[in-house]
Amino acid sequence: MNFPPTTMSNCTVMSGSYGWTDTLKRVQYGPGCVSTALPKLIETLGVKKGLIVTGRSLYTKTDVVSKVEEILKAHDAYAGVFTDFGEHTPVAGINACIKVYQDTGADFIVALGGGSPIDGAKAVRYRIHEQAGTGVPPPQIAIPTTLSAAEYSIGAGYTDENGNKVAVSHQMLAPAGIILDAELTLPTPSRLWLSTGIRAVDHAVENLYRPLVPHPCKILCFSALADFFKYLPISKADPTDIEARQRLLVAAWMSLWPTRFEKYSALGMSHALGHRLGAKYGIPHGITSCLTLSPVVAIQSRIASQEDKEYLANTLFYLREPSTGSIEGDILKLSALIDGLVVQLGLKSTLSEYKVPREDFAALSQGNDDLVELLNGIY
């Protein structure tokens, strides 16, 4: 029997700490589980009336929102629906949502959809808490329909009255409950579903070399990557395959396992660059990961610490891929495998398709020569 590599350059990986978020009470997963999980969470949290925060397309073009409405109404826990968040979550939309929340007598939020409504709900809760000046933010139940994994973070962003991006982060902004029901993801457009899958791949890969990520979480990332490489192509071939979708939802959870950082943990290079590209040029975050992750991994073969290189190289074992015989070669092979997955899913694109001007590369790279080379390579 073969076992995964266990030799590392030193013992620092076996030192650290792990803590759960302050607010998250339950993650419930399984096809069709929303019908029992949502009432159970309402009971656990002791809340009465929930405002659904979602996207306009999900509300008008699918029956996903109506299914959740029916559950809330059946338990006399329905306050209403808010769908009017604009792009980049302007504060006007947040204030409008707060008014609906207050006017309907809601005491909790059900965030339903992708990263925008889930993060938007966090921003709403933050502003409610800020305006009250006391207590804790109202609880949030997150029901994702993409693989962006926004529900596992404690941060959110919005645009203030002057057009400035504002980032908020606090342990109390973590959702109180998360429901992973594959049946609710069936109407999600294929490109959105698959590209957010690559975003989750980005989470898993960069957590292998992101500072302060506990060793057990890195092992979860290995398992997540194995499932992404197996089930994303299956989901593309058959978008109705519920088992594949459910496994991908759980893999997204493993890719960004809720973790308390005692100190700031810097984002990986792919995420940092993706945020810049997304904010300035309107490129969806899933697509930015399709653009940046593979070349960023190739860069890590040169610049990462020996310990981080070993984590990245060990990924090949979990993907059931033979080693090249060197750590650097294995990382380059991982980079090629990621690129191959993006191509297989039909998600390959370039910066020129999104009209990113070459003259902006200097600002985007912030003086990093490796990033300038990367940007030219994906133009």
Alpha carbon dihedral 228, 232, 233, 236, in 10-degree steps, equals: 180
Mean pLDDT on 269-286? 88
- Residue 244, CA distances (Å) to 152, 189, 234 in order: 21, 16, 7
Long-range contacts of 307-311 (CB under 8 A, 24+ apart): 307/8, 307/9, 307/10, 307/12, 307/13, 308/208, 308/209, 310/5, 310/8, 310/9, 311/208, 311/209, 311/218
Query: Going by DSSP bridges, is the β-strand pair 155-159/165-169 parallel, antiparallel, or unpaired?
Result: antiparallel
pLDDT digits (tens, 9 = 90+) for 194-251: 999 999 999 999 999 998 899 999 999 999 999 999 999 999 999 999 999 999 999 9
Lowest model confidence (mean pLDDT) among 226-235, 236-245, 280-289, 293-302:
280-289
How many angstroms separate the CA atoms of 36 and 75, rounded?
Answer: 11
- CA distance linking residue 226 with residue 251, whole number of Å: 9
Distance CA 344, CA 205 (A): 19
Are the CB atoms for 259 and 18 separated by under 8 Å?
Answer: yes
Residue 4 has a pLDDT of: 46
Q: What is the average pLDDT score of the chain?
A: 90
Instruction: Give kind and range of the element (H or E) at residue 112.
Output: strand 108-113
Residue 161 has pLDDT above 90, yes or no: no
What is the number of other CB atoms lying within 10 angstroms of the CB of residue 236?
Answer: 19
Q: Is 60 left (phi over 0), alpha (psi -120 to 50) or beta?
A: alpha
pTM over 0.85, yes/no = yes
Task: For each of the domains in the chain, give its residue range(s) and CATH number, in order of start.
Answer: 26-185 (3.40.50.1970), 190-377 (1.20.1090.10)
Q: What is the 3-state secondary structure (H, E, C) of 355-367?
A: CCCHHHHHHHHCC
In this prediction, residue 303 has a pLDDT band, given cuts at 50, 70 and 90, of very high
Residue 361, classified by CB atoms within 10 Å of its CB into exposed (0-12), middle (13-18) or buried (19+), is: middle
Find where tokens 């600002």 sit. 363
Spatial distance between the Cα atoms of 304 and 298, rounded to a whole number of angstroms: 10
Which residue, among 121, 182, 174, 173, has the nearest Cα to 146 in the 3D structure?
182
Contact 239, 248 (CB under 8 A): no
Tokens 């002791």 sit on residue: 46
* Lowest-pLDDT choice from 75-84, 231-240, 281-290: 281-290
Q: Given this model, what pLDDT does residue 5 score? A: 46
Distance, in Å, from the CA atom of 144 to the CA atom of 200, rounded to the nearest integer, reads 13
What is the tens place of the pLDDT at every residue in 307-349?
A: 999 999 999 999 999 999 999 999 999 999 999 999 999 999 9
Banded pLDDT at 264 (limits 50, 70, 90): low
Sign of the Cα torsion 285, 252, 319, 323 reads positive
- Structure-model confidence comparison of residues 70 and 169, the more confident one: 70
SS3 state at 178: strand
